[in-house]
Structures are given as structure tokens and as C-alpha cells.
Structure 1
Amino acid sequence: MSSPPSSDGHHRLLRAWQLALLRFAVTLDDGDRLNVAALAGELDRLDRRHADDSLHFFRRSSSRLCAAIRGEGKSAREVLDLFCGEIDEPRLRLAFSSAVGIVGSGPVSSAVRSKRNRDLFRGLPTRRTASL
């Protein structure tokens, strides 16, 4: 019997799955969809220690998400909004929302902006003007 996966390993695999969904949203390529499905199968395999209902959670979610990304189904926008809200990394959430056409992600963009500009020039020596 294999040992349970580390929390860090599971987190990395989950992030790889989210990135694969982003890639599929950008390319709509069938090979990228198959990559999403493969990662979902691996996540489901790692989560077998939970209840039987969760055995195929990531595969079912992947199927729903890929169909929603293609615009299939009445609730495609709701599925995408829900998934976007579950992405904990602000830059990935912004990229995914942009790729699928979700607008109004103001809190994400302001969080990224404030992080980027904080103490930008702190510790740098002052420059003297160069005379030509």
C-alpha cells in the first residue's frame, strides 16, 4: 500500500490541475482537455481515503468545467463563476477569469496592484543626473 500524499504534493497537483484548466480555456485544444482529465484522475486517486462520494469529484468537476469553458449548458457562466471564486491565488484567478470572459474581478486586480508597487525603490541609491 502506498503512503498518503504529502499536503505540499497534493497542493502542487491541485495547482497543476487549475493551470491545466487555464490552458484549456486559452487553447480549447482537445489535448489540453485530456491533460485536465489526466490530472483530475490523479487527484481523485490520491483522495481515495475520503468518502465514496469524492472518488470522482475532480473528474466530474473537470467535465463540467470543460463543457462550461466551451459554452455548453445553461449554467456555464455559473459553473465558471463558482470555480473562479474557489481559486485562491489572485493572479491565477485573474488569468482564468480573463480567459473565460468573466468581468468585474476588481478585488483581485487591486490586490495584485498593491503587492507589485510596495516599496518599489526602497534601498536603491539615488541617481545623479548625467550631464551630456
Structure 2
Amino acid sequence: MVSEVIEDMLKRMQSHPGVIGSVIINKEGQVIKSTLDNTTSLQYASLATRVCDSSVDALRNIDPTNDLTFLRVRSKKHEILIAPGKKFKNSKWESLRLTMRRNLLWKIFQIKFKIECILC
């Protein structure tokens, strides 16, 4: 059952235009499933987990009753989208899901990068 949910999630993420890889990670930042190579998956899983955890801590310092529902981090080259949930930490890399686009506001340098986390 869980593996079917994970496979469906990967297929759904891969179906978006410009997506070249997907990674699903658990709450501890361990890779559960990935369409990327192992080194890249581990690197981005670690970074996504740290960004997500830091954001949750910062938000709770401001308002302890509030929860993080969505986070977008933009740079000139990348965009990271993090959407915490309850079952998985799911990372979607749209820069490892390459879309050749030029500096569109939040679309990133010729590569589109998204991370969507769904927390355990």
C-alpha cells in the first residue's frame, strides 16, 4: 500500500512539464525513493530537510500555534517549494527536472527547481 502511494506520488511529480527527477524523503531526511542518482538525492534531501526544519523553527518562534503549510525559496538560479504534510517528506526537484527557461521571476535561471516536502 505505502509503496503504491509512493509510486503514484513519483508519477504525479514526474508528469509536470520540466521535471527531470523526484525524491521522496522521510521526516529524518532519509531518501525513501528517488528517480535521481544516489549522490544527488542525498545532497538535496539533506538541504531540503534543513531548510524545512529551520523554517518550522522560525515560524514557531513567531507563533507557537502556527504550522508551516508551504514555503518557497527563490534565488537567481533555483526555486525551492516546500509543502509540509503528514505522511512523507517529498522532494520535487524541477531543476533536476530541467526546464530550459530564462530568468522568469520565480522560474529560475534556465533550470526550474522545485522541492515539495511532505513531512511525516
The answer to which structure, 1 or 2, has the higher relative contact order (CA under 8 A, 6+ apart) is 2
Bigger Cα Rg? 1
> Normalization by structure 2: what TM-score?
0.30
Bigger helix fraction? 1
Bigger strand fraction? 2
> Normalization by structure 1: what TM-score?
0.27
